[in-house]
């Protein structure tokens, strides 16, 4: 009795003469094996180059071909006929299975007793000699009833795939009982493909030298493990990720010779094709733009390459003003001679990224195939619109104190703007619905053939000013004689019954060309609201679509999976309309706007903004307390809980990211502090006493208590301080401190005081005057340190009340400029010498540059003809009734300490 395997066509072959390792697909079919040390690999006919399939007289079919010849073929080192002649049947190197042979099948299975391990089930049964019995009606391998299943762990799974599976398998528990097993199987399949990519593809990008892209590889592996790669979490999103990874692996595997030969940006292009937007963000922006140029300059883009381009666009960091400005600048600044015209990077991408025509789209969706009916051009332009709102090109981003737009960044050579009449270029845009329900207008928008922007013409000069010369793509345009919302294809927000806002020219041109679909009108109206709403021009409390849904009693699905009942939605809408203009109120209004946006369109940047808005609202609630009503149950759920769900506060994915980022921040901050101490010849001050599982346990507990990542990491950071007498706090002690922190947030005073009244008296009478004396911003003050987590310091003994004055980097630099002015004034008044003044100014700037902080000794003020020093005030024990310390810190740098906001009266 010989051993046997089953090929992809159901043929049974003997495996006794196989050499080296064999590979099966996920359904048990043999896809790779070696005979006489020659390796064969299964290839489908459609995986050959199209030009080679259409040659008359050449027959190419599905089958097993020599692996080395296939790789040479894709690397352009071998002709297709050489590959075709290497097909297994032509060389007769394999023997047919016969009755009585033992067939061995290996299939991927989910081991219910150990889901965190990737497992295969092995089945052995006797071949009956009838090939018709090998496959069932669905062309799956038929395993005879009663065949024993032997489960074992997949051998040689790449460590990154092992980590992925361990982190992600719990997601299958979020599905219904019916879907849970299917989800677990898909997650296991994804782990296997990630293993193959890490083994066979990623090493191509880790060669030492200039083309070592291992940093980006590491970023992508981290994203797979803990990032937001399933949004929303559905069987479809799991399947989409699996198919995308499979497709990338297949293309990259057979193009590995081309990848090995390529260098620089050409090589990065191959890697970037697998990276998520978040992982792409780790690549410097100029290189991302260069990869985007490669895509833009292609003669056409497949759907997969369009997705690639969109991922690059969606990788732009909305909170990084410089990155947004640089990217938008590149879209209009990079130009290319194409035939007899000049194209910009924007115009090339716009032409290459397409929407499917409405009739074709309708047919595809009618038969249930939405995969190839994506409105990719819509997604592209919407993404650029949202970036525009956050950029210097939007004059309404930062309003002047009097409420007018900020024109300071607008150069006359950039925008058409009448500074005397205070308005941008004016278009009397009118569109009218015809008898067939299609909107028509008398405008034609075109890209300038010399790459200078967009111009428009009209059939009737009475309808509009015609642009005599092209205008910048980002040109804000004022629309006048604006008709009613129901009579135009462009629905824009109004204020006081009149339109009051602008729209960038590139978006108006897009709407005019692609905005004739009636359902699309609503989407356009909401998306264009972004321009005016974020800038404060539009009426954010209008939220027409959400109010309509709440009146209908509809359950709203946000980001695909979060359910918000009509009652909760009604409460949030009422609260946002009636609230007092506090930071919480404004952040809630912003969140509601993006909820409306994501309810109408599927857009990655909009979804990211919704999550970010929810997270910022939660941070405000943590720091300042949740308003009344947000904690009351409405139909079984509090509004606070729904906001946390939107921010992913309760998901396994959020928890994994919370723990991972908290751990990374702890390691980074400890290393930075020790590195600084070494630079000034001081012994290290921090030691990470805890192992990874302990750190993860503490951070998981912090997340469960609703603490911020900085709070959770901060308690660990306190415990890692190196002391003269070594003390390592237990995990239970750290958890207890987190419980205490939650209580301190609720009651509003630290453990150095008996009650809120005594703490407020201390703050108002002792802390407040010092802040006023030195000119600190009292709105940025927090109490912090060990006193908010326990009755003693982390290792016991007396402790002080710590305060942190948090500034942005720009604000701290401005505060340092003020200190420089005070030093120079003191020298001018002959309070100190000019040399002493210059010495302190230089030392202050050096310290600020090196440490990112403003040392107490350089914070001064002139009082009663003397130069008062903040450091000496802090050192003077008679200045305060309890031991006190205050420090300036830069906000947003994860400084590593828990803190509670204090409000002065």
- Please tell me the predicted confidence (pLDDT) of residue 482: 42
Q: Could you count the other beta carbons within 10 Å of the beta carbon of residue 691?
A: 9
Is there a contact between 601 and 592 (Cβ–Cβ < 8 Å)?
A: no
pLDDT at 491: 39
Please tell me the distance from the alpha carbon of residue 12 to that of residue 506, in angstroms, as a whole number: 61
Instruction: To the nearest 10°, report the CA torsion of 377, 383, 389, 390.
Output: -150
Neighbours of 880 (CB within 10 A): 18
Closest CA to 245 of 281, 198, 213, 280: 198
Where is pLDDT greater, at 631 or 837?
Answer: 837
519-530 as b/e: b if 16+ CB within 10 A:
ebbbbbbbbbbb
Q: How many CB atoms lie within 10 A of CB 425?
A: 19
Q: Above 80 in pLDDT, residue 854?
A: yes
More confident residue, 571 or 29: 29
Q: Per-residue pLDDT for 235 more than 80? A: yes
Q: Is the pLDDT of residue 420 over 60?
A: no
Q: What proportion of the chain, given as a percentage, has pLDDT over 90?
A: 16
- Give 665 or 373, the one with higher predicted confidence: 665
3 pLDDT exceeds 70?
yes
For the chain, what's the residue count?
Answer: 905
More confident residue, 79 or 610: 79
Residue 423 has pLDDT above 70, yes or no: no
Higher-pLDDT residue of 622 and 94 is: 94
Sign of the Cα pseudo-torsion (202, 203, 204, 207, in order): positive
Q: Of residues 118 and 195, which shows the higher confidence score?
A: 195
Measure the CA–CA gap between 844 and 855, rounded to whole angstroms.
7
- Would you say residue 102 has pLDDT above 90? yes
CA distance 168 to 188: 9
Confidence (pLDDT) at 778 = 87
pLDDT at 250: 81
Give me the mean pLDDT over the 657-666 stretch: 82
- Over residues 400-415, the pLDDT tens digits come to 555 556 666 655 556 6
Across 18-27, 111-120, 202-211, 733-742, the highest mean pLDDT is recorded for: 733-742
Q: What is the mean pLDDT of residues 471-480?
A: 71
- Taking a C-beta distance cutoff of 8 angstroms, is the pair 416, 425 a contact? yes
pLDDT for res 367: 38
In tens, the pLDDT along 336-363 reads 998 888 999 999 999 899 876 444 444 3
Q: Cα angle vertex 232, ends 227, 238, to 5°?
A: 75
Note the pLDDT of residue 453: 80
How is residue 132 annotated by DSSP?
G
Q: What is the reported pLDDT for 46? A: 78
Q: Cα separation of 582 and 580, whole Å?
A: 6
Residue 467 CB partners (closer than 8 Å, separation 6+) = 425, 455, 456, 457
Phi, psi of 363 (to 5 degrees): -65, -45
In tens, the pLDDT along 484-513 reads: 443 333 434 333 344 445 678 888 778 766
pLDDT confidence tier of residue 517, bands split at 50, 70 and 90: very low
How much is the CA Rg of the chain, to the nearest whole Å?
32
pLDDT in tens, 215-227: 888 889 988 988 7
Q: With contact defined as beta carbons under 8 Å apart, do 127 and 97 qualify? A: yes
What is the structure's pLDDT at 346?
Answer: 95
- What mean pLDDT value characterizes the chain? 77
Residue 884 parent element (H or E): strand 884-890
pLDDT (average), residues 849-871: 88
Stronger pLDDT, 692 or 55, i.e. the higher one: 692
Instruction: Tokens for 156, please give them.
Output: 């040689």
The CA distance from 815 to 813, in Å, is 5
Averaged pLDDT, 98-115 = 86
Q: Is the pLDDT of residue 466 over 60?
A: no
Q: Looking at the predicted structure, is the pLDDT value of residue 437 above 50?
A: no
CB contact set of 817 (below 8 Å; sequence gap of 6+): none
What's the maximum distance between 2 C-alpha atoms anywhere in the chain? 108
pLDDT in tens, 531-540: 333 333 333 3
| % of the chain exceeding 70 in pLDDT | 76
The pLDDT of residue 103: 92
- Sign of the alpha-carbon dihedral angle for 272, 273, 274, 280: positive
Query: Mean pLDDT across the stretch 139-152?
Result: 89
CB 719 within 8 A of CB 796: no
Distance CA 885, CA 867 (A): 20
pLDDT in tens, 771-811: 999 999 888 888 988 888 887 665 455 567 889 888 877 88
**Residues contacting residue 890 through CB under 8 Å, at least 6 positions apart:** 806, 807, 808, 809, 812, 852, 853
Helix H or strand E encompassing 105: strand 102-109
pLDDT at 287 over 90: yes
Q: How do residues 574-592 score in pLDDT, each as one tens digit?
A: 777 767 667 788 888 878 8
Strand pairing of 476-479 and 454-458?
Answer: unpaired
Q: What is the pLDDT of residue 601?
A: 47
d(CA 58, CA 9): 21
Encode pLDDT of 247-266 as tens digits: 888 888 878 888 888 888 88
Q: Which residues pair with 454 in a beta bridge?
A: 447, 471
Which band of pLDDT confidence, cut at 50, 70 and 90, is reported for residue 679?
A: confident
Residue 527 is predicted with a pLDDT of: 40
Q: What pLDDT score was predicted for residue 807?
A: 82
3-state secondary structure 307-328: HHHHHHHHCCCCCCHHHHHHHH
pLDDT at 524: 38
Q: Where are the beta strands (DSSP E) in 308-413?
A: 335-338, 341-344
Q: How much is the pLDDT for 761?
A: 93
Predicted local distance difference test score (pLDDT) of residue 523 = 37
Residue pair 10/17 in contact by the 8 Å Cβ criterion: no
Structure confidence at residue 521 as a pLDDT band (50, 70, 90): very low
Residues β-bridged to residue 141:
135
Average pLDDT of 509-525?
50
Tell me the average pLDDT across 658-682.
82
How far does the chain reach from its first CA to its final CA, in angstroms? 90
pLDDT score of 405 = 60
Average pLDDT over residues 188-197: 92
Which tokens belong to 667? 């390691």
* pLDDT at residue 359 in the model: 40
Name the residue with higher pLDDT: 420 or 767.
767
Residue 347: what pLDDT? 93
Give residue 439's pLDDT band: very low, low, confident or very high (50, 70, 90).
Answer: very low
Distances (CA, A) of 763 to 115, 752, 753, 769, 870: 54, 12, 11, 9, 17
């Amino acid at each position: 009795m010989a051993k046997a395997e089953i090929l992809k066509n159901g043929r049974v072959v003997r495996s006794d003469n196989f050499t080296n390792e064999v590979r099966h697909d996920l359904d048990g079919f043999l896809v790779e094996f070696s005979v006489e040390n020659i390796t064969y690999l299964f290839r489908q006919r459609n995986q050959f180059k199209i030009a080679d399939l259409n040659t008359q007289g050449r027959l190419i079919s599905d089958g097993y071909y020599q692996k080395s010849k296939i790789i040479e073929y894709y690397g352009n080192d071998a002709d297709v006929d050489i590959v075709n002649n290497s097909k297994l049947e032509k060389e007769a190197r394999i023997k047919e299975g016969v009755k009585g042979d033992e067939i061995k099948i290996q299939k991927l299975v989910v081991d219910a007793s150990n889901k965190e391990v990737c497992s295969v089930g092995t089945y052995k049964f006797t071949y009956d000699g009838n090939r018709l019995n090998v496959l069932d009606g669905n062309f799956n391998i038929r395993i005879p009833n009663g065949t024993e299943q032997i489960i074992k762990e997949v051998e040689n799974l790449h460590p990154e795939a092992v980590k992925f599976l361990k982190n992600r398998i719990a997601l299958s528990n979020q599905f219904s009982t019916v879907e849970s097993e299917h989800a677990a199987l898909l997650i296991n399949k994804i782990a296997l493909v990630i293993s193959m990519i890490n083994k066979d593809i990623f090493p191509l990008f880790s060669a030492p030298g200039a083309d070592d892209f291992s940093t980006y590889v590491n970023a992508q592996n981290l994203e797979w493990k803990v990032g937001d790669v399933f949004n929303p979490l559905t069987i479809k999103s799991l399947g989409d990720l699996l198919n995308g990874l499979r497709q990338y692996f297949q293309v990259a595997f057979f193009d590995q010779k081309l990848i090995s030969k390529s260098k620089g940006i050409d090589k990065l292009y191959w890697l970037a094709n697998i990276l998520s937007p978040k992982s792409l963000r780790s690549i410097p922006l100029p290189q991302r733009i260069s990869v985007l140029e490669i895509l833009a300059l292609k003669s056409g883009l497949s759907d997969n390459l369009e997705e690639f381009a969109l991922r690059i666009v969606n990788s732009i960091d909305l909170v990084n003003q410089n990155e947004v400005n640089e990217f938008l600048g590149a879209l209009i600044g990079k130009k290319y001679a194409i035939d007899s015209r000049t194209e910009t990077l924007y115009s090339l991408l716009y032409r290459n990224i397409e929407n499917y025509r409405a009739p074709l789209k309708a047919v595809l969706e009618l038969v249930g195939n939405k995969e190839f009916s994506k409105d990719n051009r819509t997604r592209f332009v919407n993404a650029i619109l949202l970036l525009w709102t956050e950029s210097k090109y939007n004059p309404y981003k930062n309003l002047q104190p009097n409420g007018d737009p900020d024109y300071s960044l607008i150069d006359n050579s950039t925008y058409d703007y009448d500074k005397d009449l205070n308005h941008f270029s004016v278009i009397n845009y009118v569109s009218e619905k015809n008898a067939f329900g299609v909107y028509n207008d008398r405008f034609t928008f075109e890209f300038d053939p010399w790459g200078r922007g967009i111009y428009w013409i009209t059939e009737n000069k009475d309808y509009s000013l015609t642009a005599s010369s092209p205008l910048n793509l980002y040109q804000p345009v004022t629309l006048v004689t604006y008709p009613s919302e129901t009579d135009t294809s462009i629905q824009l927000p109004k204020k006081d019954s009149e339109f009051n806002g602008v729209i960038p020219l590139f978006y108006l041109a897009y709407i005019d060309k692609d905005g004739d679909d009636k359902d699309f009108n609503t989407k356009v109206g909401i998306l264009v609201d972004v321009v005016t709403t974020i800038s404060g021009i539009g009426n954010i409390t209008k939220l027409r679509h959400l109010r309509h849904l709440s009146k209908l009693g509809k359950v709203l699905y946000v980001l695909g999976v979060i359910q918000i009942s009509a009652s909760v939605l009604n409460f949030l809408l009422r609260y946002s309309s009636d609230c007092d203009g506090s930071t919480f109120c404004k952040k809630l209004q912003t969140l509601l706007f993006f909820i409306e946006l994501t309810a109408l369109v599927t857009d990655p940047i909009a979804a990211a903004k919704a999550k970010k808005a929810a997270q910022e609202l939660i941070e405000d609630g943590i720091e300042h307390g949740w308003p009344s009503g947000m904690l009351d149950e409405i139909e079984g759920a509090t509004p606070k809980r729904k906001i946390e769900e939107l921010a992913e506060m309760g998901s396994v994915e959020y928890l994994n990211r919370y723990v991972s980022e908290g751990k990374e921040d702890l390691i980074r901050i400890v290393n930075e502090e020790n590195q600084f101490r070494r630079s000034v010849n001081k012994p290290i001050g921090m030691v990470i006493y805890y192992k990874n599982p302990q750190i993860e346990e503490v951070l998981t507990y912090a997340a469960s208590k609703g603490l911020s990542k900085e709070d959770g990491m901060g308690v660990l950071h306190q415990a890692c301080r190196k002391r003269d007498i070594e003390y390592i706090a237990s995990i239970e002690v750290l958890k207890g401190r987190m419980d205490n922190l939650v209580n301190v947030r609720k009651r509003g005073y630290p453990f150095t005081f008996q009650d809120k009244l005594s703490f407020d008296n201390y703050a108002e009478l002792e802390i407040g005057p010092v802040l006023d004396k030195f000119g600190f911003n009292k709105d940025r003050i927090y109490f912090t340190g060990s006193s908010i987590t326990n009755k003693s310091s982390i290792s016991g003994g007396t402790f002080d009340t710590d305060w942190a004055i948090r500034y942005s980097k720009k604000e701290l630099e401005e505060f340092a400029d003020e200190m420089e002015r005070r030093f120079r004034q003191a020298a001018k008044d002959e309070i100190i010498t000019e040399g002493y003044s210059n010495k302190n100014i230089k030392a202050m700037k050096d310290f600020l540059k090196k440490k990112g902080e403003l040392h107490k000794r350089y914070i001064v003020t002139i009082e009663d003809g003397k130069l008062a020093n903040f450091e000496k005030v802090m050192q003077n024990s008679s200045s305060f009734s309890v031991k006190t310390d205050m420090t300036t810190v830069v906000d947003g740098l994860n400084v590593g300490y828990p803190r509670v906001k204090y409000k002065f009266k």
